[in-house]
Chain A
Amino acid sequence: MLALHDAVFLARLQFAFTIGFHIVLPAFSIGLASYLMVLEGLWLATKQQVYLDLFQFWLKAFSLVFAMGVVSGIVMSYEFGTNWGRFSDRAGAIIGPLMGYEVLTAFFLEAGFLGIMLFGLRRVGPVPHFLATCIVALGTLISAFWILSANSWMQTPQGYTVSPDGRFLPADWAAVIFNPSFTVRLPHMVLASYLCVAFFVGAVGAWHLLRDATNKPARTMFSMAMWMALLAAPLQIVMGDIHGLNTLHYQPEKIAALEGDWDSGRGVPLVLFGWPNMQTEHTDYALELPHLGSLILTHEWNGEIKGLKDWKAEDRPYAPVVFWAFRIMVGLGFLMAATGIAGVVLRCRGRLYSTPWLLRLMVLLAPVGFVALLAGWVVTEVGRQPYTVYGLLRTAESVSPIATPGVAISLAAFAVVYLIVFGSGFAYLARLVLRRPAAGE
C-alpha cells in the first residue's frame, strides 16, 4: 500500500496531510465564533461580567486558531492547481464558482470584520462590536455552506453535462449546489464543529475546576459546554444515521467498505470488529451480530445490502482504512453522547462541578471532537476512492503532470513546516487556555 514511488499516491498523501491539518482549524473557528457570539450576546443581555470575561478569554484563542486556519486554507485554494491540475481543468467550471462564492460571501466578510471583532471593542462600542462578532460567526457558517457544497458535488455529482473533451459543464446550478449529499453533509459538519468546541471548552473548564472549584468563569464555561454536549451529541448520532442512509443510496460501495461487507444479501450481520482483507475479499477475525447490519442501514430486519464484490477490484476503496475510521468516529460519537448524559444527571443531583471523575474525563476528552471529525473525514474521502468526482473522474486521472521527486520534496517541505508552525501554534493555544481565566480581565 505504501507506494512512495508513485506520484499519484504522493499527491494524495500531500493533500490528505495539508487538509487534515487545515480541516480542524475551520471546524474550531466555526464552533468558537458561534460560541463567542453567544457569550457576547449574553453579556449585552444580562450585563454579567463573567460573560465578557469568557468572551475575552476565548477571543484570544479564536484569534490564534483563525490565523492558522487562514494560512492553511490559502494552501488548499492553490493546491487544486499545483497538484490536481487535470481535475481543475475538467471540474473547474463547477467547483470553481462554488469556491468563488465562498470567497465573495464568506472570506471577505470574515476578514473584513475580524479586525473589529479582535481589536475594535473600544473603538466602535459594544453593540456594533457585537454585530461584527455575529457577522464573523455568520461568515464561518457561509464558508462551510459553499465548501461542503463543492465537496458534496464531488461525492454525489448532479446538474452537469460532459463536454466532448471530458470537461464537466454546469447545466443547473441549483441542482449542483443542492446535490443529494449536501443537505445531510452540511448539518453533520456544523454539528461536528460545535461538538469539537463543546468538548474543548468543556475540557478547559474542567481543568480549571479541578484546580479551583469556585472559579466562576470556569464554572460557566463548563456548564455551557455540558449543555452543548447534551444537545449536540445525540443530534449528531441521528444526523449520522441520516447521512448513512443517504450514502447507502448514492455511494453504496462506501457503505460496503465501512461495514466490511463483501457479499450482497438480505439480513446482513453487523460486523463489529475485524480486518477487511483486500486480497482474499473477506473480513478476517470478524465479530458479527446477526441481522443488525441490515437493520441499522435499511431500518428493516431483512433489508438488502450490497457487498464490495459487486464492484470490480479496481473500483473499490481501500476498505480497512474506511472500516476502522468509521468505528473510531461512531465510537467517539457515542462516548460524547454518554458524557453529555452523565453531565445532565450529575447536574440534576447538584454535583456537576464537584464530581472529579467527570472533570477528569472531560479533560481527557479535549481532542475527542477533532479526532471524530478527522475520522469522519477519512471515511468520506477514502470511501469515495478511486474517484475525485465520484463514478466519473478517477483520482489517477486528476493529478498535475508533476514528477515524483517534485511532489516528494513539496510533501516533505509541508510536513516540516506544518509540524513546526502548527506544533508551535497548538502549544501556544494550550498555554493560553491553561492560564487561569481571571474575573474582570
Chain B
Amino acid sequence: MMTLPGLDLPLIWAGLIAFAVLAYVVLDGFDLGTAILFAVEHDAADRDLMVNTIAPVWDGNETWLVMGGGGLLAVFPLAYSIILPALYPVIIAMLLALVFRGVAFEFRFRAGTPRGRATWDIAFCAGSLVAAACQGLALGGLLQGIHVEGRVYAGGWFDWLTGFTVLCGIATVIGYALLGATWLIWRTEGELQRRCRRHAHTLGIATLALIGVVSLWTPMLNPAFAHRWFGWPGILLTSPVPVLVVLLAMGFWRGLAHRHHVTPFLCALGWFVLCYAGLGISLFPLIVPPGLTIWQAAAPPESQAFLLVGAVVLIPIVLIYTGYAYWVFRGKVLPGAHYH
C-alpha cells in the first residue's frame, strides 16, 4: 500500500487545496464580477458582449470550486464534514445562486423574447451577487471560528451571521466586481471599456478600504491570528504584505490613467493573491479555527497519497489545456461574435 513515507502529506494537501480555492476565487471571481456589473450595465448589446467574454471559460473556472469541495472531502474529510453543516444556509444559498447564474448563460440566449432575456439577466446578476456574498460570508464564518464537539459541528443555526461575516460578504462582492470590471477592460474596447475604467476606479477605492478594515478586524478575532501577524518571526512574513498592496495600488491607478489594457486586471488579481496569502498566514496550521489543525483533520495517508499521485501528474496538464482554451479565445471580444 502506497503511503509516500517522508512527506508531510497534510501540509502538501493543504497547499494544493489552498491553490484550488485561490484558482476558483480569481477565475470565477471575474466571471461573477462581470455578471454583478449587469447591475449598472443595462444595454442589451453590451450585456451580450460581457457574457461572451466569459462564455467559453466559465465552466472550467467553476470546476475549481468542485475541486476545492471534492478535494476537501477526499483529504480533509473531518473539516468537510464540520464546515459544511456549520455554514448550512450559506452553502445552500450559494449553490442555488450558482444554479441561477450557470443556467442563465444558456437560458438568456434561449428565452426568445426580450422580456425572457431580461428575466434571465436578473437571474444572472442576482445569482452571481448572492453567490459572491455567500462565499464571503462562508469565509468570514470559517475565520471567526466554528464550535465543534467530538467530531461534529455543535453550534447554532445562525452562528455564521455576525458583523464580521457580513463585512466579508460585502468585501467579496465588491472585490469580484472589481475583477469583473478590470477583466472587461482587458477583453473589450470602446464605450464599454471606457465605462469599465470608471467602474474599476470606484471599485478599486472601495476594495482597498474593505481590505484595510477586514485586515484590521481579523487579528482581533483570535489571539493566535494576532500573534502570527505581529509576533516574531511571523512579522518577517507579514510585513511585506501591506507594502505589496500599496505597490499594486500604484500600478493599478497608473494602469487606469495610462489606459493600459491588462495592468489593472493583473493588479486586482495581485490584491486577491495577497489577501489570500494574508489569510493563509492567519489560519495556518488551522483548517477549522479555533481548534482543528490540518494534521488532525487529515484523511489517512493511504487516501492522501493515492490522490496526490494523480494530482501531481494531472494538475499541470489541467493548467496547460486550460491555458490553451483561454488562448483559443484570446483577444478583444467584438460585437456580433455570436457564441450562440
Contact = CB atoms under 8 A, between A and B. Distances in A.
A75 interface: yes
A169 B300 contact: yes
Interface in B275-327: 299-300, 302-303, 306-307, 310-311, 314-315, 318, 321-322, 324-325
A408 interface: no
A71 B306 contact: no
Given A85-B81, A124-B328, A169 B157 contact: no
Contacts of A401: 85, 152-154
A292 B321 CA distance: 55
B128 to A, nearest CB: 13
A104 B63 CA distance: 9
Contact of B56 (A71, A78, A99, A119): A119
Interface stretch (A108-116, A227-235, A262-270, A359-367): A108-116
Interface in B62-93: 62-63, 65-67, 69-75, 77-78, 80-85, 88-89, 91-92
Interface stretch (A187-195, A248-256, A311-319, A420-428): A420-428
Interface stretch (A89-97, A237-245, A383-391): A89-97
Interface stretch (B96-104, B194-202, B245-253): B96-104
B56 A118 contact: yes
B69 A78 contact: yes
Given A113-B321, A115-B329, A97 B74 contact: yes
A67 B96 contact: no
Interface in A100-135: 100-105, 107-116, 118-120, 123-124
A86 B59 contact: no
A29 interface: no
Interface residues of A, number: 73
A63 B153 contact: no
Contact of A116 (B63, B80, B310, B325): B325
A100 B74 contact: yes
Contacts of A172: 1
B116 to A, nearest CB: 9
| List of 5 A-B pairs having minimum Cβ-Cβ separation, nearest first | A92-B77, A96-B74, A81-B84, A115-B56, A71-B102
16 contacts: A64-B110, A74-B102, A81-B91, A93-B303, A96-B71, A97-B74, A97-B75, A103-B63, A111-B63, A115-B60, A118-B56, A123-B329, A169-B300, A171-B302, A417-B100, A428-B106
Interface of A: 60, 63-64, 66-68, 70-75, 77-78, 80-82, 85-86, 88-89, 92-97, 99-105, 107-116, 118-120, 123-124, 163, 165, 169-173, 400-403, 406, 409-410, 413-414, 417-418, 421, 424-425, 428, 431-432
Interface of B: 1, 55-57, 59-60, 62-63, 65-67, 69-75, 77-78, 80-85, 88-89, 91-92, 95-96, 98-103, 105-107, 110-112, 151-154, 157, 299-300, 302-303, 306-307, 310-311, 314-315, 318, 321-322, 324-325, 328-329, 339-340
